Amino acid sequence: MHYAFPVPPPLYSAGNVLDDFDHYMRGSRSENTAIKYVSAAQKLIEFCTMHGLAMAALPRNTLSLFSEHLVSQDLKPRSVGVYVAGARRFLAWMIDRGSAAMPNGASRVDLPKIQNELPNALKSDELLQFLSVVSRDHEPLRSAIILLAFCGLRTHEMVTLRLDSISKVNVPMKDGSASPHLCFTVRGKGDVLRVVPLLSDGAPLLMAYLTNWRRKVAGSSVWLFPAPDGACVGDRTLRAHVAQAKKIMGSKSRLTPHTLRRTYLTALWKAGVDVPTLTKIAGHKSVQTTMAHYLDIQTEDIVGAVAGRRVSLIAKGDYVDKVNAASNAVGEYLNAKKGFK
């Protein structure tokens, strides 16, 4: 897509502006919103740099052009809306600081319409291919990405897990014994704590990571997935590596960390976990959010749920025979009645 811009004054020096904006956002918004808005600010700066736009002389339609640019990058309309909202907040913050200027009335943006798309989860063969690709990554990113599919956490929840976030819960069995199950205690949106069970086939992967790389290389860190500088692995780094894996796979369908989250929740649903419980595990406020945006329910799932239960309105027996006899009598009457249409 080509944009024609007037030649602007020299670009401003970004310096530590993103760090300052990040600090401002974390003090006024939730962590998740802060992460998205800082990412939007970074994208806006890259867009302005690409087209030679100076913050001191932005054209009236900057945000509209920015939204078109995001669409051209194959971002979904919902994501475009979030990034534009973040860019608008960033520009307002810059204007308050005297570091940017836009003409009056420049806040209106023609956003693309959101198309309702069914939630997508990875099928077994796609998941195996994805895990094969990311298994070549280096630790701790390798294990962090792999375990996303086995616990369904948001990326910022995954990277901020601590060692003491892991717990073992003894689940009572029918024979009276107790089966231990690994879980994560997560502080999610709204600073609400919740317990997220790790899928049974993910437990060996977590234990292998803990007893090998994690214990030998980063034993003293409090973070489950520590970075070389002692902090936790970055949320954006995790997302970038998932995007790189999709590129290597050559996947045409959506494949993001949220796809792995949907894969986890859909697997639980197919295993018989009820939707209210899934909503609690996911940290959603309503079951409608879980149903509409996170469960990949296929036609065969819907039909199979009914056919597998052999649901019938009338029980077999004498009553069915009477209904059949009455139906036959009505049919004979209608056939004998002349002129019936």
Query: How far are the Cα atoms of 70, 146, 239, 240 from residue 74, in angstroms, in the given order?
Result: 7, 25, 16, 15
Q: Average pLDDT, stretch 305-328?
A: 62
The structure tokens 């601590």 sit at: 162
Answer whether residue 242 shows pLDDT above 80. Answer: yes
Handedness of CA 45, 47, 53, 59 (dihedral sign): negative
* CATH architecture observed for domain 124-299: Orthogonal Bundle (1.10)
Cβ neighbours of residue 283 closer than 8 Å, sequence gap 6 or more: 186, 188, 189, 192, 194
The pLDDT value recorded for residue 5 is: 38
The single-letter code of the amino acid at 222 is V
pLDDT tens digit sequence for 43-56: 998 888 888 888 77
Query: What's this model's pTM, rounded to 2 decimal places?
Result: 0.59
- pLDDT at residue 158, as a whole number: 93
Distance (Å) of CA 215 to CA 47, 164, 202: 42, 14, 18
**Cross-strand bridge partners of residue 226:** 232
Return the residue matching tokens 């030998």.
216
CATH class held by domain 1-115: mainly alpha
Give the residue, 2 or 131, on which the prediction is more confident: 131
Residue 297, Cβ neighbours under 10 Å: how many?
Answer: 15
pLDDT number for residue 64: 82
Most confidently modeled of 34-38, 175-179, 249-253?
34-38
What are the Cα distances from residue 239, in Å, to 235, 246, 291, 294?
A: 6, 11, 24, 18
Separation of alpha carbons 323 and 94, rounded Å: 76
The confidence score (pLDDT) of residue 317 equals: 60
Give the pLDDT of residue 332.
74
Residue 207 banded pLDDT, cuts 50, 70, 90: very high
List, edge to edge, every strand of the sheet that includes 178-187: 166-172, 178-187, 193-197
Q: Where are the beta strands (DSSP E) in the chain?
A: 166-172, 178-187, 193-197
The domain locations on the chain are 1-115, 124-299
- The pLDDT score that the predictor gives to residue 147 is 94
- Are the beta carbons of 81 and 111 closer than 8 angstroms? yes
Confidence of residue 298 (pLDDT cuts 50, 70, 90): low
Between 237 and 12, name the one with better pLDDT: 237
Confidence of residue 172 (pLDDT cuts 50, 70, 90): confident
pLDDT tens per residue, range 59-115: 878 888 888 888 777 777 778 888 988 888 888 888 888 777 666 555 555 555 545
Residues in CB range of 200: below 8 A, 6 or more apart: 181
Q: Are 170 and 178 in contact (CB under 8 A)?
A: yes
Tally of CB atoms within 10 A around 301: 13
